[in-house]
Structure 1
Amino acid sequence: MRPFIHLVVVIGLCFAELSHAPPSGAMADAPMRTYPTPPDGAVSGHVSDGPSEHGHEKRAVDPMEQAAVNDRAMDGERDFDAIGHLSRNKRQAYCNGRYSQTDRDAILKFHNDMRSKIARGQYLVRGQAKPSAVNMRKLYYSCDLENSAQNVANRCVFAHSDRHGKNTGENIYRFRTPVRVAPNPLPIEGTGLDACKAWEVEFEQFGWPGLLFSEYSLQIGIGHSTQMAWWKTSKIGCGVAQCFDGTRQIILAVCHYRDTGNWFNEDIYKAGPTCSECGDGYRCETSTGLCIN
């Protein structure tokens, strides 16, 4: 039995601790599988400008420059497609984060299952199917991104990281025990999947008003979900740390994404026939409706 926890989510530079009761029907002895409703106002207060492909200005949600990893670091990657199978081998020989391969597989599968449902027009939000996607890319697991996420988690600081650049997105999840309980560190097994579920459920809780990402998307509290669903993102890596704040045991889980999502005034994905516009270097994986390379 896992100890009772308070769930906390981070978006942009603002964060809020959640200590609401579990939703109706949640099991009291499995609190890590429950997802309390985030409060209003958990939004980003910092954006950065960058050149648009169309010659206009576009702004990405930039929590202290999005904890970026320079593209050149990709030369040292080792990427996994699913269930640990290597898809691309480069110089780096291993992931050095704390998640097990089982946790990595669960995180990757959850994201790709969600993206596949979106791509095929089977993703339901409040009972309504979202339109299918012409260009939703399949995610691959990146050791490079895991290592950068692990470095952020190791700080045991509940805030977005301050690494510079704009090519890496970041989702953060924290939960902790009540005051002065659970003297032993909380287990990390399964916390990556817990984090994914907590981020993804924002769509159901707050709605998905449209495919155009805007400041309103942040205001209603769906920024974690939109990063998970961003069409151009193709890599993910996650880290986790067991922390202690002097009175409580804490788990801090961090996922990094490349390319970053949540660009203002851009579509989360393009609606149309499934997998019909994957673009140069990509082809359709018909079994999932996702674009692969």
Structure 2
Amino acid sequence: MRDLYLKYHNDARSRLAKGKVRDLNRRLGPAKNIYKLSWSCELEKIAKELAQGCGYDFTRHRSYGQNRETFYGSYGVTTFDVKKHIKQALDKWWGKVKNSYVHRDNKYDPSLFEFSNMAHYKNTELGCAHVICADPSFSKLQVLCVYKRLGYMSNSIMWRNGKYCRVNSDCTIFPNSRCEDGLCVRPKEQADSGASQICGSNGVMTDAVRNDFLDMHNFYRSVVATGRAVDKIDKRAPKAAAMPKLKYSCELEQSATYHAGFCQFSHSQGNNVGENLYIVYTPGFDKRVIAEMVRCTLPSILL
């Protein structure tokens, strides 16, 4: 079943990248930097947990995208055609786009709730599960998929129009990505061990998160320096000369941690350093996903 979930998603994302998907009004795409999804056993475990009871509680694990579909049978029924219902759920979620109008800038719209999770170009992992639940009146089968990135965020861009990837260097979202059938493939991410040795433990940061922040900054600086940064009309920006590589500063981390503790979306006063701010209102948000979102504070020319 894992192969069914994964193949459906990636085939659909490949069609979107190549401009072969339509909404009610027009053909969408083509799109650049759409990433191929890989299977996450961790997200599968979360999907199984969320599906227990076949309810619709979206208050748990809110930092991940969630798609749910419930099918009903007669009381006492314990067997469902699971494969058929999974396909029906996936068709329904992806099919939302055929009955909607996508904004010209490809921004999320509530009518595209499930579709946005499936299509979001920066999503790289998913995990799905199905559960059969007994009920006093009828039996239920719930199909549930969990996505590493939220697609349904207000004003978020589901994808960027442009040329889909042909060569590895066309993939400019994550370092060391490669191109495969119009989709970009992100290298497998190492798990966060929780170690904090670079700057010692401050109760918030780990070395994995520090390296995520640093690697993403230096990767995007490399994209600019080598002339691979592309604007919204697919025009390459000029190369940059003598752009230095960043290194991690524990002193600046301490300053950032102190100011972030006030939870105010404003710059600190009097410390004479540059600051980029980003805020989310979801409790328990995955810190490594937040680190990846550093790109949201960078110019759209890099996206």
Shared fold by TM > 0.5? yes
User: Which residue of 2 is the match for residue 281 of structure 1?
Assistant: 175
User: Which residue of 2 is the match for residue 235 of structure 1?
Assistant: 125
1:162 aligns with 2:59: yes
Question: Offset of 1:289 from its aligned partner?
Answer: 3.3
Alignment gaps of 5+ in structure 2: 188-303
SS in 2 for 1:242: strand
Q: 2:71 aligns with which of 166, 175, 186?
A: 175
What are the Cα deviations for residues 126-167 of structure 1, in whole angstroms up to 9, with x where unaligned?
47321211110100011110111001111332x13432552x
User: Which residue of 1 is the match for residue 102 of structure 2?
Assistant: 208
Q: 2:48 aligns with which of 132, 150, 156?
A: 150
What is the aligned-residue RMSD (CA, Å)?
2.0
- Structure with greater proportional strand content: 1
Using a 3 Å threshold, how does the CA distance of structure 1 residues 135 and 265 change in structure 2: closer, same or farther?
same
Contact 1:134-1:278 at 8 Å conserved across structures? no
Q: Where do 4+ consecutive residues of structure 1 move more than 4 Å?
A: none
User: Which residue of 2 is the match for residue 140 of structure 1?
Assistant: 38
Question: Offset of 1:207 from its aligned partner?
Answer: 3.2
Corresponding pairs, count:
182
Letter in 2 for 1:210: R
Using a 3 Å threshold, how does the CA distance of structure 1 residues 107 and 137 change in structure 2: closer, same or farther?
same
Report 1:1-293 matches (<5 A). Answer: 103-126=1-24, 128-157=26-55, 159-164=56-61, 166=63, 168-177=64-73, 181=74, 183-187=76-80, 189-190=82-83, 191-214=85-108, 217-218=109-110, 221-275=111-165, 276-293=170-187
User: Which residue of 2 is the match for residue 100 of structure 1?
Assistant: none
Question: Counterparts of 2:106 and 2:19 in 1: how far apart (Å)?
Answer: 17
SS in 1 for 2:133: strand
Alignment gaps of 5+ in structure 1: 1-102
Higher relative contact order (CA 8 A, sep 6+): 1
Contact 2:176-2:186 at 8 Å conserved across structures? yes
Question: Offset of 1:185 from its aligned partner?
Answer: 1.4
Question: Counterparts of 1:278 and 1:290 in 2: how far apart (Å)?
Answer: 9
Contact 2:171-2:184 at 8 Å conserved across structures? no
Question: Offset of 1:175 from its aligned partner?
Answer: 1.4
SS in 2 for 1:264: coil
Question: Offset of 1:186 from its aligned partner?
Answer: 3.5
Worse-superposed segment, 131-140 or 121-130:
121-130
